[in-house]
Amino acid sequence: MAATVVLVLGCVVALAGDPPAPAAAPARLKKVAVLPFDVAKGMDLQLGATFSGALLGEVRKARGSEVSLMAPDDVVQALPDALRGRLKRCSMATCKAQMAQAVSADRALWGSVSRVGGTVVLNLALLEASDGAQVAQWSGKTPEKELDKLLDQLPASVEVLFPAPKPPPRRRACAAATRSRHAPGAAARGAPAGVRPAYPA
């Protein structure tokens, strides 16, 4: 038994003696331009700002160390005059990607608020600024008189739009010994067949 403990401790010591892995260079934060949310006709236009502001707060709380967000007002201010005038008519993904490119963002995040019967629907999409390709999409809905319930769904949207990064692979630990080590005289005490006693050199 003592020899087995020594073998295990030897494994631990070997691991402890390994040189530490070099620290990885910090990854550059993805810059995401949050465009003003579209609001359907006949609805309160303030809903766009309400949902986009709440979403920004949730993303910063959950992924603030991984994503750099540019708020809608900041995006509008940073756009060249020619593009700023097109923003309200910008419905295509390629147009939204162009807006993100214009403010040096990696991706564009946009949303739309609409009403279907007595239900309010919020659609969110994350697009690549390079070509307008959709990276992720999320939808939520709630009865029109219970908008707070839609706000409560926003943390779930963050998990879809900005999933947590995968942890780095763990270093391979030394394999546990599968053969028993026996002290001198173990064979005389009935060592299992095929196990060679370990005598000191």
pLDDT in tens, 102-129: 999 999 999 999 999 999 999 999 999 9
pLDDT of residue 151: 96
Q: Is residue 41 part of a domain?
A: yes
20-41 pLDDT, tens per residue? 555 554 567 899 999 999 999 9
Closest CA to 137 of 166, 115, 112, 157: 157
Task: Report the b/e string of 161-191 with b at 16+ CB within 10 A.
Answer: bbeeeeeeeeeeeeeeeeeebbeeebeeeee
Q: Is residue 58 part of a domain?
A: yes
Measured in Å, how far apart are the chain's first and last C-alpha atoms?
A: 19
Tell me what percent of the residues of the chain surpass a pLDDT of 90: 63
* Poorest-pLDDT segment among 22-31, 44-53, 117-126, 170-179: 170-179
pLDDT of residue 165: 83
Q: Is residue 174 part of a domain?
A: no
Rounded mean pLDDT, 180-195: 50
Q: Is residue 111 part of a domain?
A: yes
Q: Is residue 22 part of a domain?
A: no
Structural domain of 57: 30-161
Q: Is residue 21 part of a domain?
A: no
Other C-beta atoms within 10 Å of 91: how many?
Answer: 10
pLDDT of residue 166: 80
The pLDDT of residue 78 is above 70: yes
Q: Is residue 18 part of a domain?
A: no
Return d(Cα 4, Cα 198) in angstroms, integer.
Answer: 11
- How many structural domains comprise the chain? 1
Tell me what percent of the residues of the chain surpass a pLDDT of 70: 71
Assign 88 a pLDDT band (cuts: 50, 70, 90): confident
Return d(Cα 35, Cα 91) in angstroms, integer.
Answer: 11
Residue 122 or 192, more confident: 122
pLDDT of residue 3: 47
Q: Is residue 125 part of a domain?
A: yes
Return d(Cα 111, Cα 134) in angstroms, integer.
Answer: 13
pTM, whole model, 2 decimals?
A: 0.71
The CATH number linked to 105 is: 3.40.50.10070
Q: Cβ-count burial of 33 within 10 angstroms (0-12 exposed, 13-18 middle, 19+ buried)? A: buried
| Averaged confidence pLDDT in the chain | 81
